[in-house]
Every structure is written in structure tokens, then in C-alpha cells.
Amino acid sequence: MYRVKKQLHWEKAIEQGITGQNVTIAVLDTGIATHPDFNNRILAFRDFVNKKKNRYDDSNHGTHVSGILAGNGMLSGGRYCGIAPLANLVVGKILDEKGNGTIEYMQEGIQWIIENREKYQIRILNISIGTDLADEIAIKTIMNCIESAWKAGIIVVTAAGNKGPKPMSISPIGASDMVITVGCHDGGYFGEKNNLCENYSGRGPTQYALKKPDIVAPGTEIISCNANIRKIHGQYSNAYVAKSGTSMATPIVAGACALYLQKYPNAQNEEVKRRMLYSATDMKENWTKQGWGMLDIEKLLK
């Protein structure tokens, strides 16, 4: 997260006191673990898989994503804090310990978020999930479900998926115009290193929206909160872990949305999306790989 924030010119936001404070981001994923970097900013948790009451993450995916979004970096002296380190979180567990879920879990999760958007002041929904759905009816069902959140005024940020680089490999969850679809690009940080996220990030177009992805952000070896953190004799260990994928790039963009909404609280989702895309940095890549380009937080907030 330290190098990501440098790449995306995040420091200017913090200098201006823009931290995502009082903005709530919903996360549909594998859950969230108790971690000091979230302190008391997890407003609600609902388990649609196992129906447990207390929050948990048996996969470690959702905790990592949430750390990228809104971890305050307390255990790292701020080095690994998220993009919106003072934002609030509402978390729905719709994936099991293997990262598998159902359309029904997704529908229930989104409906719960829509119903509670005013109670928790939910402005953003992060869905760092890919899917292999091939059935046309199933794809339409899940797209309609996601679009219902956008129509309710929520900014929906979704992953392009990790099925690239073939054309039309965008995850169906990110195929709609009523989402911000995020692909990976590390901006040359790793040089010619193999297995960069950008090499397998989902590619456009899609049969529903020709220009996809919308935007890209770093997604390789992102260090964020670890659900398997341990506390022994008052000391924490194993607090952070590195992961790669469009799942990691997505909360970077969602976190940037939270910064924008703190500065411009009356902005609507369409405005936020347009501003984000128009302020992106062209990486001189094919549109099907980079969309409008790399997220630039300083330009976004100007």
C-alpha cells in the first residue's frame, strides 16, 4: 500500500485532511476479521453463508480487501494504511472459505445494503469478486441485481476479474455500464517481472458494454491486513500479507471514491464515475486493457 499511494499521488489528499471520514463503504466478500487497523469503524456485519452473528473471515480475502479500502495502518505506523483510512465499513459475507458463493447470496447481500443505505449512510459498494457464469439468464440476473444498487444511488465498484488477457474476459459482474469496472496495471513499477496482475487482468470489450474496463489501479503484491493476525503476550504478529489480483485493484478505486465523497459530499454516482475516468492517466495501452487509464487521486480531487 505504501508504494501504491506514492504511485497514485495520494499524499495531497492526506495533506488536505481528506481521509474518507464519515463516508461508509459496503463490502461484499468473504467477511472481515477483527484487526486493530479497523478499530471501531466496522458499523455492521451480516453473514449470508453460515448465518453466524459475530464477524469473521475464514478465507482472508475480505479482510485484505477491507484493509486496502479503510485500514488505518496502526500496526505499521501508517505505512500500510488504506486509501480511505478513516472511512466506515459495512461488510456482508457472501463467499465461503474457498471463495465460492451463489447468486442468491449476492442478491441477499445487495438487498441488505440497499435497505440499510440510509441507516449506515452507505455511499459505495465494493465487489472484489470474479465469476465464471456462462448461463445468459444467470448473468442477466446478477447484472440486474448489481444495477439495482447503482439505481439506488450507490457507487458500485467491481473487479474486471483475473481471466485475461483474452478479449472479452471481463467478469460478468463488471460487464454493466452501471458500475466502475477496475482492471490491474502496476505502471511499470516491477519492470519486466513475470506474473504481473496486469498480464491476467480481465480484458474488454463485453457484450453488454463495449468500453471495459473503466479504469486501472495497481494489483500486484499489495500488502494489506491479514485475517490470520495473532496476538501473543500483548504483541501482534502476522498483521499483514501480500496478495495480487484485480480484487486488490478494486478497493483502491473504491477508496478513492470515498475521498471524493468526503470533499464533495453531494456528488452523485454518475458524477463521481465521470470525474474519476476523465482524470485518469493514459498508460498508452489498448483500451481493452486500461480503459481510461490509471487512477490519479490528486487529479481526481482537484
Give this prediction's pTM.
Answer: 0.97
pLDDT at 210: 76
At residue 30, φ and ψ (nearest 5 deg) are -95, 5
Q: Which of 29, 37, 57, 296 is catalytic?
A: 29
C-alpha cell recorded at residue 106: 449476492
229 in Cβ contact with 114 (< 8 Å):
no
Q: Which of 59, 247, 279, 296 is catalytic?
A: 247
pLDDT at 135: 82
Active site annotation includes 171: no
pLDDT at 101: 94
pLDDT at 208: 84
C-alpha cell recorded at residue 230: 495473532
C-alpha cell recorded at residue 56: 469473521
Q: Which of 61, 66, 214, 224 is catalytic?
A: 61
pLDDT at 264: 98
CA–CA separation, 42 and 88 (whole Å) = 6
Kindly indicate the confidence band of residue 67, based on its pLDDT and cuts at 50, 70 and 90: very high
Query: How long is the chain?
Result: 302
178 in Cβ contact with 208 (< 8 Å):
no
Active site annotation includes 66: no
**242 pairs with which residues across the strands?**
223
Kindly indicate the confidence band of residue 207, based on its pLDDT and cuts at 50, 70 and 90: confident
Which tens digit of pLDDT belongs to each residue from 215-266? 999 999 999 999 999 999 989 999 999 999 999 999 999 999 999 999 999 9
Which tens digit of pLDDT belongs to each residue from 263-299? 999 999 999 999 999 999 999 999 999 999 999 999 9
98-102: average pLDDT: 94
pLDDT at 133: 73
The mean predicted confidence, pLDDT, of the chain is 96
CA–CA separation, 107 and 42 (whole Å) = 22
pLDDT at 130 over 90: no
72-82: average pLDDT: 97
10-32: average pLDDT: 97
Which tens digit of pLDDT belongs to each residue from 28-65? 999 999 999 999 999 999 999 999 999 999 999 999 99
Which tens digit of pLDDT belongs to each residue from 144-198? 999 999 999 999 999 999 999 999 999 999 999 999 999 999 999 999 888 999 9
The torsion defined by the Cα of 187, 179, 167 and 210, in degrees rounded to 10, comes to -110
pLDDT at 260: 98
Active site annotation includes 233: no
pLDDT at 132 over 90: no
* Structural domains of the chain, with CATH: 2-301 (3.40.50.200)
Q: Would you call the peptide bond into 213 cis, given omega within 30 degrees of 0 as the criterion? A: yes
- Interior CA angle at 248 toward 208 and 58, to 5°? 105
Q: 99-108, 118-127, 205-214, 270-279: which has the minimum mean pLDDT?
A: 205-214
CA–CA separation, 225 and 89 (whole Å) = 14
149 in Cβ contact with 156 (< 8 Å):
yes
pLDDT at 131: 81
